[in-house]
């Protein structure tokens, strides 16, 4: 039995899949097995590639039907006999020390269920070449040691702090992290992180590479992204106790970015009665911007007001998991 099971997920990226697979084959840590899942039943390339490599650690799984990215990703989160599970996407690739570094970090923190590493950003050019854009996902952080993140970070109101492309988890807890199948793919990290048991472990060393590709499976529908942001925000403020000064700061920061996110705060308060206190701290210019946005895009505004009905399973999942995280946080405070 191997120590780590790696899931390599692919869909019609035959020009990128060999790079991802080679980065696994080049790992300094070798005690792994791999399930390569091909989500295009009509594409023979992934199987031909695996058969050509002929490494007994790699097994090809051709899906009988196209499951789509969210359902395919959910296949990763199943208990296995291996101690650890990791996810490698076909467009990303790992540094040779990724698995060795992450498993070593997890072994130092036996109570941590999930860990992730820093990633380098690469841009795919129109000619198929790749450019290192000189940035990491985490740029302003320490470069040595590791960092534990407790639940309730401000970034988790509308987003996530981990990266699934550089993640490792203990397989015995994997089934806890299955998310609703109708979760929009652009939101899988955000939604899934609400199910993590905290603290989670961050390795600031760059151990993987994130590809900014010319094409993506992520929806460009602004309304879809907006509704998930609203559900994230509403579930957070429904359950997480937040001090008044912190709420004021959240409004200030949400209104200071180029792409203002104050509308998510307004809609969260409108769709969830437990979040109505947010409205007390909106500034006049926040109200003006919100009303103008609704008048400019009334269809999107109406869809946002129906966010819980549009994604009932996602809303129930976020509501339930956020409540669980808050209870865990309280127990941890009491035990300390």
Geometric angle at alpha carbon 235, from 229 and 239, rounded to 5°:
150
Q: How far apart are CA 199 and CA 157, in angstroms?
A: 16
Please give the C-alpha separations between residue 187 and each of 87, 114, 220, 288, 293, in angstroms, as whole numbers: 16, 18, 12, 28, 23
Give the torsion through C-alpha atoms of 85, 71, 69, 209, to 10 deg.
Answer: -10
pLDDT of residue 282: 97
Pairing of β 167-170 and β 58-62: unpaired
Is 49 contained in some domain? yes
Q: How many residues does the chain have?
A: 336
Does one domain contain both 18 and 167?
yes
Task: Note whether 70 and 131 are same-domain residues.
Answer: yes
Rounded Cα distance, 308 and 256, in Å: 27
Secondary structure (DSSP) of 119-171: EEEEEE-TTS-EEEEEEESS-SS-SSS-EEE-S--GGGTTS-S--GGGEEEEG
Residues 146, 96 share a domain: yes
Helices vs. strands in the chain: H and E counts, helices first = 12, 10
**Is residue 74 located within the same domain as residue 198?**
yes
The structure tokens listed for 75 are 């296949």
DSSP string over 269-324: HHH-GGGGGGGGG--HHHHHHHHHHHHH-HHHHHHHHTHHHHSHHHHHHHHHHHHH
Q: Phi, psi at residue 66, to the nearest 5°?
A: -75, 115
- Residue 239 · residue 157 · CB < 8 Å: no
C-alpha span between 176 and 74 (Å, rounded): 11
CA distance 255 to 194: 25
Q: Per the domain annotation, does 318 fall within a domain? A: yes
CA distance 68 to 70: 6
User: 297 CB contacts (<8 Å, ≥6 apart)?
Assistant: none
Helix (H/G/I), strand (E/B), else coil: 187: helix
Residue at a domain's end among 212, 233, 264:
212
Is residue 17 in a domain?
yes
Same domain, 230 and 207: no
With respect to residue 103, please indicate whether it lies within any of the assigned structural domains. Answer: yes
Same domain, 153 and 302: no
Predicted TM-score of the model (pTM) = 0.94
Please identify, among 212, 233, 254, the residue that sits at the C-terminal boundary of a domain: 212
Say whether 1 sits in a helix, a strand or coil.
Answer: coil
Picking from 191, 212, 233, the residue at the C-terminal end of a domain is 212
217 within some domain: no
Is 265 in the same domain as 155? no
Same domain (yes/no): 128, 188: yes
Is 181 contained in some domain?
Answer: yes
pLDDT given at position 220: 65
- Domain of residue 34, residue span: 4-212
Residues of the chain with pLDDT under 50: none
Same domain, 208 and 236: no
Distance, CA of 170 to CA of 293 (rounded, Å) = 44
Same domain, 156 and 243: no
Residue 263, in any domain of the structure: yes
pLDDT at 52: 98
Residue 62 in any domain: the answer is yes
CB 231 within 8 A of CB 318: yes
Residues 240 and 165 in one domain: no
Q: For residue 138, what is the domain's CATH number?
A: 3.90.550.10
**Residue 163: its pLDDT value, please?**
96
Q: How many domains does the chain have?
A: 2
31-65 pLDDT, tens per residue? 999 999 999 999 999 999 999 999 999 999 999 99
Q: Are residues 242 and 177 part of one domain? A: no
């Amino acid at each position: 039995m191997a120590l780590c099971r790696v899931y390599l997920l692919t869909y019609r990226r035959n020009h990128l899949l060999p790079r991802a697979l080679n980065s696994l084959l080049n790992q300094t840590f070798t005690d792994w097995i791999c399930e390569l899942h091909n989500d295009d039943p009509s594409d023979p390339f992934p199987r031909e590639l695996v058969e050509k490599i002929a490494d007994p650690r790699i097994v090809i799984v051709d899906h009988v039907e196209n499951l789509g990215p969210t359902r395919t990703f959910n296949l990763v989160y199943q208990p296995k006999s291996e101690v650890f599970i990791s996810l490698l996407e076909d467009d990303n690739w790992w540094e040779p020390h990724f698995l060795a570094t992450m498993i070593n970090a997890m072994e130092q923190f036996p109570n941590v269920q999930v860990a992730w590493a820093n990633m380098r950003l690469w841009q795919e050019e129109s000619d198929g070449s790749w450019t290192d854009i000189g940035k990491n996902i985490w740029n302003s952080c320490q470069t040595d040691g590791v960092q534990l993140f407790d639940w309730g970070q401000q970034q988790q109101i509308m987003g996530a702090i981990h990266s699934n492309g550089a993640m490792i988890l203990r397989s015995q807890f994997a089934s806890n992290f299955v998310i609703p199948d109708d979760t929009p793919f652009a939101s899988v990290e955000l939604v899934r992180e609400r199910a993590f048991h905290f603290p989670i472990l961050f390795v600031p060393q760059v151990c993987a590479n994130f590809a900014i590709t010319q094409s993506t499976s992520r929806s460009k529908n602004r309304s879809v992204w907006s509704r998930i942001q609203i559900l994230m925000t509403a579930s957070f403020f429904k359950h997480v106790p937040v001090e008044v000064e912190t709420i004021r700061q959240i409004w200030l920061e949400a209104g200071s970015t180029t792409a203002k996110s104050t509308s998510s705060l307004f809609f969260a308060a409108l769709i969830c009665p437990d979040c109505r206190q947010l409205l007390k701290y909106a500034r006049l210019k926040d109200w003006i911007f919100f009303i103008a946005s609704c008048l400019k895009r009334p269809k999107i505004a109406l869809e946002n007001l129906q966010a819980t009905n549009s994604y009932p399973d996602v809303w129930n999942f976020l509501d339930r998991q956020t409540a669980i995280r808050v209870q865990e946080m309280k127990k941890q405070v009491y035990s300390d």
